[in-house]
Amino acid sequence: METEAIEGGFANPVFDAQTMFRAVMDAMARPGTIQPCGELTAPPAPLSPVAAAVALALCDADTPLWLDPALQASPAAKHWLGFHTGAPLAHTPADAHFAIVSDPAELIALENFAQGTQEYPDRSTTLILQVPSLSGGETLHLEGPGIETSFAFAPVSLPRHFVEQWKQNRARFPRGVDVILAAPEGVACLPRTTRIKTKEA
């Protein structure tokens, strides 16, 4: 088990981490756009290659990591993340700098995660949600910084009541969480500054 749980990290740590960082940065700068990044890791299930690559690029010993119950239940996934990132597991979602969510539909409410403080709004959790696809779902219309007018975005299997939860997240500004969606085709982001309009609104 030990061997399996450590194979499949970045083949070229420096360049692969840069590629992922660039993809996430561009995705944050242009909310909703899909930034392809390839499959740079081969993690144990239920961790997805793209979510794992985001974690390897962003997490380290100083960033407590929260895992959803499905990931918690996988010793191999926990061991793999620990080995490659050095990130300690967060005791509670409120302690987490990053959270990896393999099953977003079952995710606890966003307000459970660290929201940052008025003085240090950056001290909030960044959620990495594994989704099956970034298109084909219900269309969301995104507005806000990084979007000229409005941007149509239709990821599949977001957390329950996501639009309502996101509205509350917006209301906490400058506090609030940021979201990275990791799908086989790449990453897309919803920074806390982005507003979501559903069609009828």
Partner 1 sequence: MKTDRRHEKEEALARKAAMAALADAPGETLKALWDEAGLPRDAQRLRGPETGLVTVRGRIGGGGAPFNFGEATVTRATVRVEGGSVGHAYALGRDKEKALLSAIADALWQDASRRNDIETKIIAPLQAAQAEADERRRAETAATKVDFFTMVRGED
Partner 2 sequence: MYVAVKGGDAAISNAHKLLADRRRGDRSVPALRIDQIVEQLALGVDRVMAEGSLYDRELAALAIAQSRGDLIEAVFLVRAYRTTLPRFGYTNAIDTGAMLVERRVSATYKDLPGGQLLGPTFDYTHRLLDPEIAAGSPVDEPEQRDVEEGRMPRVSEILAHEGLIEGDGDMPLDHVTGDLTREPLDFPIERDLRLQALARGDEGFLLALGYSTQRGYGRNHPFVGEIRIGEVELELDVPELPFAVPLGRIRVTECQMVTQFKGSAKVPPQFTRGYGLVFGQSERKAMSMSLCDRALRAREFGEDVVAPAQDEEFVISHSDNVQATGFVEHLKLPHYVDFQAELDLIRRMRAEHDARRTDHVEQQREAAE
Minimum distance from CB of 62 to partner 1 (Å)?
Answer: 10
Q: Give the tokens for residue 128.
A: 């990495």
Binding at 156: pick from partner 2, partner 1, none (beta carbon under 5-8 Å per type):
none
Considering the complex, state which of residue 17 and residue 70 has its C-beta at the smaller distance from partner 2.
17
> Of 84, 97, 175, 192, which lies in the binding site for partner 1, with binding defined by CB under 8 A?
84
Q: Is 17 in the site for partner 1 (CB under 8 A)?
A: no
118 binds, among partner 2, partner 1, none (CB under 5 to 8 A by kind): none
Residue numbers at the binding site for partner 2 (CB under 8 A): 2, 6, 60-62, 79, 82-83, 86
Picking from 51, 97, 40, the residue whose alpha carbon sits closest to that of residue 77 is 51
Contact call for residue 9 and partner 1 (CB under 8 A)? yes
**∠ CA 83-54-50 to the nearest 5 degrees?**
100
Alpha-helix runs per DSSP H in 30-177: 49-58, 69-72, 75-85, 162-171
CB of 190 to partner 2, least distance (A): 27
Inter-CA distances, 123 with 18, 62, 177, Å: 23, 12, 9
- Residue 128 CB contacts under 8 Å (≥ 6 apart), including other chains: 51, 54, 55, 98, 99, 100, 101, 180, 182
Q: Site for partner 1 (CB under 8 A): which residue of 1, 3, 171, 201?
A: 3
- List contacts with partner 1 (CB under 8 A): 2-3, 6-7, 9, 13, 83-84
